[in-house]
Amino acid sequence: MSADLQTLATVSRLVPRPIRPDVAGSRDTLIGYLDAVRQGLLMIDASGAVIVASASARQLLSDLNVTPRENAPALPLLRALRGDTPQARRAVMTTLRHTLDRRQPGVFEVRCADHTVQAELHPVAGSNWVVTLEDVSSRKATEARADAMARLDPLTGLPNRLLLRERLAAALARLARTGEACALLLIDLDRFKPVNDTLGHPIGDALLEKVADRLRSTIRPTDTVARIGGDEFVILQAGIRDAAGTQALARRIVDLIGRTYMVEGHLLTIGASVGVALAPADGTDADRLLKNADLALYRAKLDGRGTYRFFEPEMDARMQARRKLELDMRQALARREFQLHYQPQLQLQSGTLIGCEALIRWRHPDRGLVSPLDFIPLAEEIGLIVPIGEWVIRQACRDAMTWPAHMSVAVNVSPAQFKSDRLVETIISALASSGLPARRLEVEITEGVLLQENEKTLQTLHRLRELGVRVSMDDFGTGYASLSYLRSFPFDKIKIDRSFVKDLATKPDGEAIIRAIAGLGKSLGMTTVAEGVETPEQMQRIRLEGCTDVQGYFISRPVPTEDLLPIFAAYPQV
């Protein structure tokens, strides 16, 4: 067999159909087979001459303005496929030299005359070579498109978390190289969820697009704005000189996002909270910067939202303290560290005590007695209020069973407890296992519960009502829409917030407000309790304004159930 035929016979393994020996002798037939292969095939003999070029190889090479000539040396041909850039040319030459010298298979890919070509070199018997050529341009373009898409948020077209990470890494590399500082601004939308929940996702999405447009409009071309979560955006501000420019940007964002939007006929207002971390001052690696911006954002939200905060090292310490409190609180129930204190309520007309409010206390092993104001908000945030609240309800019912039979017990119930499905079941079970009649149990809710007013909340309240449990509106007058909430549910009792009682002596309108609420309660058939009564003067005023009940240090501070009996005994019994 000639060298050519031997090569062809070897190459025949690459041809999809088996070649019978009788046709293997026919060069034209074999080339016909090779032409059927999608990839271009070149065969090169031991002397380096091209002995066969299949039709698709010829086509591909002519697309690249290279014409293979038979029996011409192959190396210049392959070198012709060497790419558009000096780097590509060097890479190709290295691969070629390596492959040819060591007779190892080699692959290289080059961009050349707007095409991307993949070439594979295979050594075959007799020091010959087979080269396959494939135009992978369209596959590459699709991959590149998919790659770009994977880095964009489909809704807003903004970079997503992945691309942000890449840009941040690049900015931090620049920082290390040239000292060029940058800033990371973490933006969280305030009040976006209610829009989404009440008006639906299409409106929520349209709003997010408008937010994205506003953010885009406020940055420089060298900055990046990315969407990294439902209503979370990030701006990477590149090449900053000092914090002043970043502060101006943060202020601009808060202002711009807070302006009214018009979405499909709805006038919408939302806000933005912004947390800022600066590199290198607050960190030089991506994770630390993101974490610190997040801590600053948390602070901005705590400080009432609609504002920005720069990271400060003490935020980290505070967050760690919070985590410790959270860990401790998770164990406090099992360790029986919670305790209930009770504060009696006096009915003015009869002069008798009619019940007590249960107020939780935490006897912390190191911190001593912790006020509910210091742990209830966190417990609500992390959902721990549900089991804690359940314990409160059960314990309060048990304790009330030891009191005179006309005394009721009031428990505070948080919004989070209303959201969980267990509240009614818990109350039924607490009443059943303690034996306390339902009419002796009172549930105090704040506007927070009704703020998430939905059918479910009202249904729950009505179910409690049907059981015979009474429902009080707590902290009345401190919220935004106290009056309208009074219409949504027939409360048994209105508790007038302590701040109005405190103002009695100093502000003339305090008196007018208490009188108005007392009158309102009277005409709606609701009991009105003045909270926080501390002095005989306040007591006198409250009586004159027409409140039915009082609660406050003047009657008694909250005390453990064991200390109640002497207090009960000091008042006339019914």
Provide DSSP, 500-564: HHHTTTT-HHHHHHHHHHHHHHHHHT-EEEE----SHHHHHHHHHHT-SEEESTTT---EEGGGH
* Distance, CA of 134 to CA of 233 (rounded, Å): 43
Q: Which does 373 bind (CB under 5 to 8 A by kind): ligand C2E, Ca ion, none?
A: ligand C2E
Q: Which stretch binds ligand C2E (CB under 6 A): 185-193, 294-302, 504-512, 528-536?
A: 528-536
**Of the two residues 412 and 457, which places its CB atom closer to Ca ion in the complex?**
412
Q: Which of 519, 536, 529 is nearest to 498 (CA)?
A: 529
**Of the two residues 115 and 498, which places its CB atom closer to ligand C2E in the complex?**
498
* Distance, CA of 7 to CA of 44 (rounded, Å): 8
* Distance, CA of 4 to CA of 262 (rounded, Å): 76
Q: Is there a contact between 70 and 54 (Cβ–Cβ < 8 Å)?
A: no
Q: Which of residues 237-276 bind Ca ion (CB under 5 A)?
A: none
Q: How far is the CB of 407 from ligand C2E (least distance, A)?
A: 18
- Cis before residue 280, ω within 30 degrees of 0? yes
**Of the two residues 190 and 444, which places its CB atom closer to Ca ion in the complex?**
444
* Distance, CA of 31 to CA of 82 (rounded, Å): 26
Q: How many residues bind ligand C2E (CB under 6 A)?
A: 22
Q: Mention every residue, 6+ apart, whose C-beta is less than 8 A from residue 280.
A: 175, 181
Q: How far is the CB of 401 from ligand C2E (least distance, A)?
A: 18
Q: Which of residues 385-414 bind Ca ion (CB under 5 A)?
A: 412
If one asks whether residue 317 binds ligand C2E (CB under 6 A), the answer comes out as no
Q: How far is the CB of 142 from ligand C2E (least distance, A)?
A: 57
Q: Which of 110, 295, 315, 359 binds ligand C2E (CB under 6 A)?
A: 359
Q: Which of 204, 275, 477, 558 binds ligand C2E (CB under 6 A)?
A: 558
Q: Which of 196, 343, 482, 527 binds ligand C2E (CB under 6 A)?
A: 343
If one asks whether residue 475 binds Ca ion (CB under 5 A), the answer comes out as yes
**Of the two residues 190 and 474, which places its CB atom closer to Ca ion in the complex?**
474
**Of the two residues 50 and 430, which places its CB atom closer to ligand C2E in the complex?**
430
Q: Which of residues 471-500 bind ligand C2E (CB under 6 A)?
A: 474-475, 498
Q: Which does 159 bind (CB under 5 to 8 A by kind): Ca ion, ligand C2E, none?
A: none
Q: Which of 372, 387, 404, 437 binds ligand C2E (CB under 6 A)?
A: 372
Instruction: List helix spans (H) across 275-384.
Output: 286-302, 313-332, 372-381
If one asks whether residue 560 binds ligand C2E (CB under 6 A), the answer comes out as no
Please return the burial class of 478, using the count of CB atoms within 10 Å of its CB with bins 0-12, 13-18 and 19+.
Answer: middle
If one asks whether residue 504 binds ligand C2E (CB under 6 A), the answer comes out as no
CA distances from 159 to 148, 289, 563 (A): 9, 18, 63
224 bridge partner residues: 236
If one asks whether residue 447 binds Ca ion (CB under 5 A), the answer comes out as no
* Distance, CA of 15 to CA of 452 (rounded, Å): 71
Q: Which of 444, 447, 545, 549 binds Ca ion (CB under 5 A)?
A: 444
If one asks whether residue 232 binds ligand C2E (CB under 6 A), the answer comes out as no
Q: Which of 267, 373, 405, 569 binds ligand C2E (CB under 6 A)?
A: 373
Q: Which of 395, 412, 434, 460 binds ligand C2E (CB under 6 A)?
A: 412
Q: How far is the CB of 445 from Ca ion (least distance, A)?
A: 9
If one asks whether residue 552 binds ligand C2E (CB under 6 A), the answer comes out as yes
* Angle ∠(397,399,401) on CA atoms, nearest 5: 75
If one asks whether residue 553 binds ligand C2E (CB under 6 A), the answer comes out as yes
Please return the burial class of 291, using the count of CB atoms within 10 Å of its CB with bins 0-12, 13-18 and 19+.
Answer: middle
If one asks whether residue 371 binds ligand C2E (CB under 6 A), the answer comes out as yes
Q: Is there a contact between 293 and 311 (Cβ–Cβ < 8 Å)?
A: yes
Helices 423-434 and 455-467: crossing angle in degrees, nearest 10, is 10
Helix (H, G, I), strand (E, B) or coil at 404: coil
Which chain residues interact with Ca ion by CB under 5 A? Answer: 412, 444, 474-475
Which chain residues interact with ligand C2E by CB under 6 A? Answer: 343, 358-360, 371-373, 376, 385, 389, 392, 412, 414, 474-475, 498, 532-534, 552-553, 558
